[in-house]
Amino acid sequence: MFKTLIPKATSRSLLRPVGQASSTFRPSTFYLVDRARRGYATEAEEKDLVIIGGGVAGYVAAIKAGQAGLKVACIEKRGALGGTCLNVGCIPSKSLLNNSHLYHTILHDTKNRGIEVGDVKLNLEQMMKAKETSVSGLTKGIEFLFKKNNVEYIRGTGAFADEHTVAVNLIDGGETSVRGKNIIIATGSEATPFPGLSIDEKRVVTSTGAIALKEVPKKMVVIGGGIIGLEMGSVWSRLGAEVTVVEFLGQIGGPGMDAEISKMTQKILQKQGMKFKLNTKVTKGDDSGDTIKISVEAAKGGKEETLDADVVLVAIGRRPYTAGLGVENIGIETDERGRLVIDQEYRTKLPHIRVIGDCTFGPMLAHKAEEEAVAAVEFITKNYGHVNYNAIPSVMYTHPEVAWVGQTEAEVKNSGVKYNVGSFPFSANSRAKTNLDTDGIVKFIADAETDRILGIHIVGPNAGEMIAEGTLALEYGASSEDVARTSHAHPTLA
């Protein structure tokens, strides 16, 4: 094996005599180092906190812990911080949603506003570049915050070597390991595959492929009528695709969306050109031909129908991502859905190892993961932390947007609580009228005896911003009257 002579002036933290443990390190004029090992980082001092995963949960926890004065290392295998949300999820999809909405508005809606335009053309390549510019700027911003708060960023794939040690295969080659007094697992989630369809992210795509198509498909079939399917379906519908959404349940938006809001949203999206097949299941798919054949039938059984598509978007949900993490080596438990089992303080059965974000219980939402990140670090540093899971808002960024917080009417009804419902249409709102954007309603659900707000549901323009006031009201136990007596600027959508 080749040897290299390295001068004494070289950093001692990276060198030791061959075969000699670091604890017995003694200086000398020259040290022999195996050249084959020079690509391998050596184990550094024990960290106060090691975080596996640099997505929304992981990077927020890392920055929060760094600000609290802990020695922190964050391991991320993607090569860019921000996880699914920032790289291939929330952020790039919102860029496409916003810009496709502008395109659609210019194409179909400016004449009514007194704005006449010439020949409108779609430059899909430039639209994708705008998306990438947003993503790259934000990921670099997180790296800056890591440096500012003294967080060590380790680019590689981590796996448990033992209860306190994480071995890392570095992206740039070689290996290292890092020990932590505390460890947070924040490895996120991945798209759930559909049996029988091979995802290539070109013709059969998840949300990752749906934000990176090279051309507008003539026909797109979306399997799953939840938030991801509807958002990405609406993008390509606006850009010219014929979009059909196939949903097993009897409503769109997923079980968290209020039934009344769901029906109204479906009507609005149908008016925009999207097609829906509810109470329908996909039985098989064939992607061997020029077009993809999707066989569907009624959820309860019935006559089979075949749908043709140039692109199929599989959007049937997401599942925890823990592949290769080695949790089984240290006895960490998972449930029947692959989620890592934790207690109310995010601890696994090994109390120094905590889990936050999509790979454990609760809604797979970026802001829920952020709240858990802060709470978990507070449990480590202060022995207390809190997340109010009854006040976590959800937003679907179609147009109009759909947003809600708290309980649906069905949930309140099933609980046996007597309640009142109040709603107000945007068609009677001054600002919505002047904006020529009047689809949707605001719906309040309140306790009939105390008037305390139990749920707020909005479908309409700017719903994703307005739900913040509803979340604050719910968090502080406000009544409907409290909100009504709060002065709101006029004319505004709020």
Spatial distance between the Cα atoms of 76 and 87, rounded to a whole number of angstroms: 13
Flag whether 357 is marked binding. Answer: no
Tell me the three state secondary structure of residue 189.
strand
What's the pLDDT at 44? 58
Spatial distance between the Cα atoms of 233 and 217, rounded to a whole number of angstroms: 11
Buried b (16+ CB within 10 A) or exposed e, 18-55: eeeeeeeeeeeeebebeeeeeeebeebeebbbbbbbbb
Flag whether 220 is marked binding. Answer: no
Write the single-letter amino acid at 26. Answer: R
Q: How many other β-carbons are positioned within 10 Å of the β-carbon of residue 161?
A: 16
Flag whether 141 is marked binding. Answer: no
Domains of the chain listed by start with CATH number: 47-190+319-382 (3.50.50.60), 204-316 (3.50.50.60), 394-485 (3.30.390.30)
CA distances to 71, 72, 456 from 261, in Å: 47, 44, 11
Angle of the 227-238 helix axis to the 90-108 helix axis, nearest 10: 40
pLDDT category at 43 given cuts 50, 70, 90 is low
Flag whether 365 is marked binding. Answer: yes
Flag whether 77 is marked binding. Answer: no
Spatial distance between the Cα atoms of 154 and 165, rounded to a whole number of angstroms: 14
State which H helix or E strand residue 71 sits in.
Answer: none
Tokens in use for 3?
């040897």
Spatial distance between the Cα atoms of 321 and 51, rounded to a whole number of angstroms: 15
Spatial distance between the Cα atoms of 219 and 476, rounded to a whole number of angstroms: 47
295 strand-pairing partners: 284, 306
* Spatial contact of 419 and 445, defined as CB atoms under 8 Å apart: yes
pLDDT digits (tens, 9 = 90+) for 255-302: 899 999 999 999 999 999 999 999 999 999 999 899 999 999 999 988
Q: Is residue 438 pLDDT above 80, yes or no?
A: yes
Nearest Cα to 402, choosing from 224, 290, 251? 251
Pairing of strands 219-223, 311-314: parallel
Flag whether 364 is marked binding. Answer: yes
DSSP E strand stretches across 186-328 = 189-191, 204-205, 219-223, 242-246, 275-277, 280-286, 292-298, 305-309, 311-314, 318-320
State which H helix or E strand residue 7 sits in.
Answer: strand 3-7
Nearest Cα to 8, choosing from 38, 24, 36, 29? 29
Active-site residue list? 490
What's the pLDDT at 196? 85
CA distances to 315, 319, 462, 469 from 492, in Å: 35, 39, 10, 14
Averaged pLDDT score across all residues of the chain: 91
Q: Is 334 exposed, middle or buried (0-12, 13-18, 19+ CB in 10 A)?
A: middle
Flag whether 226 is marked binding. Answer: yes
Flag whether 201 is marked binding. Answer: no
pLDDT digits (tens, 9 = 90+) for 222-246: 999 999 999 999 999 999 999 999 9
- Torsion over CA of 169, 170, 175 and 178, rounded to 10 degrees? -90
Q: What are the backbone dihedrals phi and psi of residue 423, each rounded to the nearest 5 degrees, phi first?
A: -140, 155
Pairing of strands 189-191, 318-320: antiparallel
CA 133 to chain centre: 19
* Spatial contact of 463 and 483, defined as CB atoms under 8 Å apart: no
Q: How many residues does the chain have?
A: 494
Spatial distance between the Cα atoms of 301 and 392, rounded to a whole number of angstroms: 36
Q: Is residue 140 pLDDT above 50, yes or no?
A: yes
State which H helix or E strand residue 108 sits in.
Answer: helix 90-108
What's the pLDDT at 62? 98
pLDDT digits (tens, 9 = 90+) for 410-419: 999 999 999 9
* Spatial contact of 460 and 442, defined as CB atoms under 8 Å apart: yes
Q: Is the dihedral of CA 277, 312, 321, 299 positive or negative?
A: positive
Spatial distance between the Cα atoms of 306 and 314, rounded to a whole number of angstroms: 17
Pairing of strands 318-320, 242-246: unpaired
Q: Is residue 26 pLDDT above 80, yes or no?
A: no
Tell me the three state secondary structure of residue 180.
strand
Tokens in use for 174?
């070689």
Tokens in use for 278?
């509810």
Flag whether 227 is marked binding. Answer: yes
pLDDT digits (tens, 9 = 90+) for 376-406: 999 999 999 999 999 999 999 999 999 999 9
Flag whether 228 is marked binding. Answer: yes
Percent of the chain beyond pLDDT 90? Answer: 88
pLDDT digits (tens, 9 = 90+) for 144-186: 999 999 999 999 999 999 999 999 999 999 999 999 999 999 9
Q: Is residue 45 pLDDT above 60, yes or no?
A: yes
pLDDT digits (tens, 9 = 90+) for 56-71: 999 999 999 999 999 9
Q: How many other β-carbons are positioned within 10 Å of the β-carbon of residue 112?
A: 8
- In degrees, rounded to 5, the angle at the alpha carbon of residue 210 between the alpha carbons of residues 208 and 215 is 135
Q: Is residue 37 pLDDT above 90, yes or no?
A: no
Flag whether 55 is marked binding. Answer: no
Angle of the 124-148 helix axis to the 90-108 helix axis, nearest 10: 150
Flag whether 45 is marked binding. Answer: no
What's the pLDDT at 13? 32
What's the pLDDT at 20? 35
Flag whether 371 is marked binding. Answer: no
What's the pLDDT at 11? 34
Spatial distance between the Cα atoms of 208 and 190, rounded to a whole number of angstroms: 10
Q: Is residue 38 pLDDT above 70, yes or no?
A: no
Flag whether 366 is marked binding. Answer: yes
* Spatial contact of 213 and 205, defined as CB atoms under 8 Å apart: yes
